[in-house]
């Protein structure tokens, strides 16, 4: 509010050009008759999200009234109504601020009453917050139905605005743009969501790591150990200058860690005199992160940037590639934060799944990890999406960190194909939810790893299935493990993220389900 009052009593320009934006054509619609060019943004002070003029505030792509099968479609009558409303809002604010524009110069024409203006702006805030947000047809379907046509899904569509190459091109400006990068990674799919080319994308710009989805891990985890694990893994992959203070564990769902992160990031951005850019792979939670900021009064104070989008915000969906262009959020203090399109990574299993399958594979709540004891010749099916087999060696404990909605089934390795053929899509084995979808995922390929155990008190390596989760392996001695997953899906081993969980969740498989035995004392963490 203070910033808005100050803006109303001092010279102010409107329609400042947005930075970093690109978009598709808006057809034959004449933006100029509404008082601004298509490359301008509206500096409406009751917004915190500042979409460029004529762009969707949900995904950032430019509106267009011609092609319903292309990004940004909005019927022409709706689009003209929206632009006319925004232009009227701009004109009203110019007039009500006590200024008239003469050749782009603002001149004071009447005394200014701060108390009266504060009451009026408060009323405007209340009215604006309830105004219906107009979004493109694609965002509307994602928001209210959780669906998107393949023709409008990045990584699947061949439309020029939806290709992974275009998203890479959009982010290429960061290399030459002084900024602070807030890099989101998915703790639940760390290596699958990691941008291995991030150093080339961000150049010499400073990076702060936000490890999202901490709410999915056990509540009694040692946060400092997890934070150190994240830092070490990032440094091994090219981010050499990281300190512990640059790594934050957050949850965009619960808000845990977000205020602390943004306080540090905003202070650092102001010290450097730069804006912030939120970068990450598709589906790591960037838009959810920004939506949390829009509703968090401890991060953004009640001031000129209160906006009508508080309850709606950016479009968020379980489908990878929801955001299509840069979206700016005014954070106050001359600092802006930009949401950027998530990069599509073909080695993630989630890039191949349907919305229904994604709802099962991407955890919605804390994962109830399960530990099973495998002997030689036994295998565990992780739905119909992957399987783990103990090929040789002494028995080991395998702790599965996958969504609670993914069915685990232990069987003889020799019977796996028979079981899949008979039960795929049934209550015993899912997702996928049909034999047809299982076949559409493509050929399954196997990788074999030699696992060296570190004893029964601490897990040896994790086996990562990109987009699905991971399995920690606990035991003594050496064993051979075969991992089978769809072709080209990233499968690897790493240092354990949760090395002390096996004995807390050891279970017995009854033939149709797993039954936990309860906590064991000899395996408690130290």
pTM across the whole model: 0.76
Looking at the fold, whether 395 and 298 belong to one and the same domain comes out as no
DSSP-assigned letter for residue 16? P
**Is residue 223 in a domain?**
yes
Looking at the fold, whether 334 and 427 belong to one and the same domain comes out as no
Q: Where are the alpha helices (DSSP H) in 108-247?
A: 114-129, 137-145, 164-171, 190-193, 198-202, 223-236
SS (H, E, C) 159-188: CCCCCHHHHHHHHHHHHHCCEEEEEEEEHH
Looking at the fold, whether 445 and 466 belong to one and the same domain comes out as yes
Record the tokens describing residue 270, joined without a space: 């102001």
Of the three residues 323, 346, 369, the one that is the final residue of a domain is: 346
Looking at the fold, whether 371 and 494 belong to one and the same domain comes out as yes
Looking at the fold, whether 292 and 338 belong to one and the same domain comes out as yes
**Is residue 462 in a domain?**
yes
Looking at the fold, whether 216 and 285 belong to one and the same domain comes out as yes
Of the three residues 346, 376, 404, the one that is the final residue of a domain is: 346
Q: How far is CA 168 from the centre of its chain?
A: 16
- Best-predicted range by mean pLDDT (6-10, 193-197, 235-239, 443-447): 443-447
Q: What is the pLDDT of residues 409-449, one digit of tens each?
A: 999 999 999 999 999 999 999 999 999 999 999 899 999 99
- Count of structural domains, the chain: 2
Give residues with Cβ within 8 angstroms of 195, minimum separation 6.
183, 201, 279, 280, 281, 343, 345
Residue 209 maps to which CATH number? 3.40.50.300
State residue 41's pLDDT score: 35
Confidence of residue 225 (pLDDT cuts 50, 70, 90): very high
Record the tokens describing residue 139, joined without a space: 């965002």
Looking at the fold, whether 318 and 412 belong to one and the same domain comes out as no
Looking at the fold, whether 435 and 493 belong to one and the same domain comes out as yes
pLDDT exceeds 50 at position 321: yes
Residues 504, 506, 509: CA angle, nearest 5 degrees = 155
The residue ranking higher by pLDDT, 117 or 483, is: 483
State residue 305's pLDDT score: 40
Looking at the fold, whether 195 and 308 belong to one and the same domain comes out as yes
Record the tokens describing residue 334, joined without a space: 């001359």
Residue carrying the six token digits 């997953």 = 485
Average pLDDT, the chain: 78
Of the three residues 324, 346, 368, the one that is the final residue of a domain is: 346
CA nearest 147: which of 315, 316, 314, 319? 319
**Is residue 109 in a domain?**
no
pLDDT exceeds 70 at position 85: yes
Q: What is the pLDDT of residues 151-168, one digit of tens each?
A: 999 888 888 888 888 888
Q: Which domain holds residue 288?
A: 177-346
């Amino acid at each position: 509010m203070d910033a808005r009052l100050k803006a109303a009593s001092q010279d102010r320009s409107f329609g400042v050009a947005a930075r970093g934006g690109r978009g598709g054509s808006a057809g034959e619609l004449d933006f100029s008759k509404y008082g601004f060019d298509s490359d301008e943004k509206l500096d409406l002070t009751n917004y915190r999200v500042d979409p460029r003029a004529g762009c969707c505030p949900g995904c950032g792509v430019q509106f267009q009234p011609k092609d319903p099968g292309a990004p940004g479609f909005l019927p022409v009558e709706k689009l003209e109504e929206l632009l006319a409303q925004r232009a009227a809002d701009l004109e009203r604010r110019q007039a009500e601020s006590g200024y008239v524009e003469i050749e782009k110069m603002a001149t004071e024409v009447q005394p200014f009453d701060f108390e009266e203006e504060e009451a009026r702006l408060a009323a405007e805030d209340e009215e604006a917050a309830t105004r219906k947000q107009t979004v493109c047809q694609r965002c509307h379907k994602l928001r209210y139905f959780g669906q998107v046509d393949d023709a409008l899904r990045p990584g699947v569509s061949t439309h020029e605005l939806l290709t992974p190459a275009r998203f890479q091109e959009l982010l290429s400006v960061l290399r030459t743009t002084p900024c602070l990068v807030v890099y989101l990674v998915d703790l639940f799919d760390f290596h699958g969501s990691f941008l291995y080319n991030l150093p080339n994308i961000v150049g010499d710009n400073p990076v702060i790591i936000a490890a999202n989805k901490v709410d999915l891990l056990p509540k009694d985890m040692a946060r400092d150990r997890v934070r150190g694990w994240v830092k070490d893994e990032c440094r091994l992959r090219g981010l050499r200058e990281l300190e512990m203070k640059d790594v934050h564990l957050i949850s965009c769902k619960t808000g845990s860690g977000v205020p602390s992160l943004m306080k540090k990031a905003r202070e650092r951005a102001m010290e450097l005199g730069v804006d912030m850019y939120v970068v990450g792979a598709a589906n790591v939670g960037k838009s959810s992160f920004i939506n949390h900021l829009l509703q968090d009064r401890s991060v953004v104070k009640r001031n000129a940037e209160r906006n009508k989008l508080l309850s709606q915000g950016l479009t968020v969906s379980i489908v990878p590639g929801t955001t299509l262009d840069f979206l700016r959020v005014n954070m106050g203090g001359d600092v802006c934060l930009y949401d950027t399109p998530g990069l599509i990574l073909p080695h993630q299993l989630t890039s191949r799944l349907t919305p229904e399958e994604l709802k099962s594979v991407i955890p919605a709540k804390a994962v109830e990890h399960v530990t099973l004891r495998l002997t030689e010749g036994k295998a565990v099916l992780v739905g119909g999406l992957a399987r783990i087999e103990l090929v040789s060696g002494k028995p080991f404990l395998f702790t599965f960190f996958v969504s609670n909605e993914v069915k685990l089934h232990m069987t003889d390795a020799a019977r796996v194909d028979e079981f899949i053929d008979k039960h795929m899509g049934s209550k015993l084995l899912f997702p996928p939810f049909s034999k047809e979808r299982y076949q559409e995922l493509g050929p399954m390929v196997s990788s074999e790893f030699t696992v060296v155990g570190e004893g029964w008190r601490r897990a040896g390596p994790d086996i990562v299935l990109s987009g699905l989760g991971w399995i920690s392996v606990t035991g003594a001695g050496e064993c051979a493990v075969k991992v089978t997953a769809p072709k080209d899906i990233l499968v690897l081993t790493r240092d354990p993220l949760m090395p002390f969980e096996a004995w807390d969740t050891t279970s017995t498989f009854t033939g149709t389900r797993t039954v936990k035995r309860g906590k064991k004392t000899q395996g408690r963490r130290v």
